[in-house]
Structure 1
Amino acid sequence: MAEPVDAWWRRRQWSRGAAVPYAVGEFRADWASYPVLIRQYHPDWNHGVVLTQIPPAAEVLLIWECDVGHVFVATPAEQRSRPGRERRRSVWCPECAVQAQPQRWPVLPEDWPTAVPVPQRVVRVAGRQTLPAAPSRGFGTRIPAAAGATTGVPAGAGAMPSGAVASTRARSRRPDPGAPRRPKQSVPRSICSKTPRLPSGESFTSVCAPATASAVEAELRAALSDRFEFTFDHSAIRLDRPFFDHVEVWPDIILPELRVAIEYDSTGRHGLEHVGPRQETDRRKDRAVRGVGWEVVRIRTGRLQALGPYDLEVSGISGRTIARLTDTLREIRGALFVDAYAR
């Protein structure tokens, strides 16, 4: 079983009974045919152990950095077996190997149709049966003078006053039950064109992202910044399909190095946030983010239940919450990789 380089080195010191179990240059001939791996290896990131001191078959986790700058963890056997018969530099880095494959570009705003048709609706031919209209009262009808003389009603008693207009409000507001209903007009759907042309899954600073309005989110970002050297200036993630009117989403906190998005959810002042239909929107947002290779960690407060496998149910932001969040990041991406960014 592979283990961190410091634990592996201590175990070798104990098993071989020497402070330096392997001399520098002992395995130089084994690594000479892999110049790319020699360039990717940094002793400073591996507790000062030189690459020529590590046997090629050792089950030890080492930190590597490719020519582009991707930092990843792999064993010597994994690195030596990746090239195979190909000699591209990208095959020695898992991140570059993925990017070397053809990317599926999302639907760009200029390619999106100007109007999305609404689903067809069934036109009702006959409506529900309604009660007949009630007879008008007072001055609703004009009674002729002759009729008034016959019935004993004084002439003009049932007539409308001078200048009055007969009320037709009750009848004008009642639609004809047999008349077909008019279908609603479809609203043209437009996609924002300000999203930059990037591959799906790339994070960036968006001009459309709203400013941070929650003091708790700022406190959470500051607590993570005190512990880790992550990039905190990105505000959006490029998607491969539209999410409402954009092809991007705006998580509360984005960690590009780990490809993890952090969301802080609370019920709000009136207890209506992130519940009901808004909770379904959160689920849809999580699916969109995971669809481009990211993971989502939601910090749920106010008795909100977890939506994903890595969500945290807490009472508020505290030192214990930050510790649980750190352990969750280690569980997602590995403790060795996450601790490499620790301050």
Structure 2
Amino acid sequence: MAEGEEVRNKQVLLKDYISGFPKESDMYISTDKTIRLKVPQGCNGVLVKNLYLSCDTYKGLLMQKVEFPSVFTSFTPGSVITGEGVAKVLDSGHPNFKKGDLVWGITGWEEYSLITAPDSIFKIEHTDVPLSYYAGVLGMHGMTAYVGFYEIGTPKKGEYVFVSTASGVVGQLVGQFAKLMGCYVVGSAGSKGKVDLLKNKFGFDEYFNYKEEHDLDAALKRYSPEGIDIYFDNVGGEMLDAALLNMRKHGRIVVCGQTSQYNVDKPEGVKNLMCLIYMQVRMEGFVVYDYYPQYSKFLDIVLPCIREGKITYVEDIVEGLENGPAAFVGLFSGRNVGKQLVVVAHE
């Protein structure tokens, strides 16, 4: 494409606010809009060609008409869905970015995006690893695992760690961080294929398919008989309730996500909160964006581990923006194995 040329821009739009779990029909593909491949004069934005997009369950929350306290804003019907991705700069009105730069951060589910808030994207300096990693293990999701485990979990060598949704990009990284620290690590996942990843790829000590367990408390007592020092909670609900019954004294519960409660009409109540008092447990949530100033420190730790093969990472990639809605909806039935990404274009 020539610089300044006006082209049709394929986009994924939200049809209307949703109730319940998202369906493919809640989104639609449009090529009605055009975009000029040049940053408007006087604009300090960045025009990018999107390469990889991240599929994440939290987008299901943003498709609802919900008031969020601070960090998130619901999508608007008829608007482009947004989220984490990797892109290439085509033109820039911002001094920190130039044509040809590769970036990761918040972008649109579309072929081209004019990013008018450049503080939401970060320049990619290290290209000796796959670019797709910056939409997962080396981007927001990797930072989430790093912050949650090290900053909130405050781990010590030899502690007992339990991770739910352990085969997802955050869970798989938390488990491997814990193993590198000399912790005993148990993980739960929702299919045989995902449990096999915990066993054969990520080095967890114990693992189980939570869908095959009728009593999660009993499962945790079986797979983590010494109890739990750190529970990295990605799901909430029944799993959180069971973990509370198995926490060791002065344990920590890192509240990263509540996927079992997203898009449900009546969120489940948590019954065992008295365990926080009995066992003097600290339970803390966090928002990863507050910790982005530590990104360079995170890279210093994680990049060498990836290069040396100390950290393994599994992706589930689909080709084509038009296949994005199906890939996203598949998250809610556990169809993906590894980090779900959509390829919009190849560099």
> TM (normalized to structure 1)?
0.21
Larger RCO: 1 or 2 (CA < 8 Å, sep 6+)? 2
Structure in which a larger fraction of residues adopt strand: 2
Larger Rg, first or second structure (1 or 2) = 1
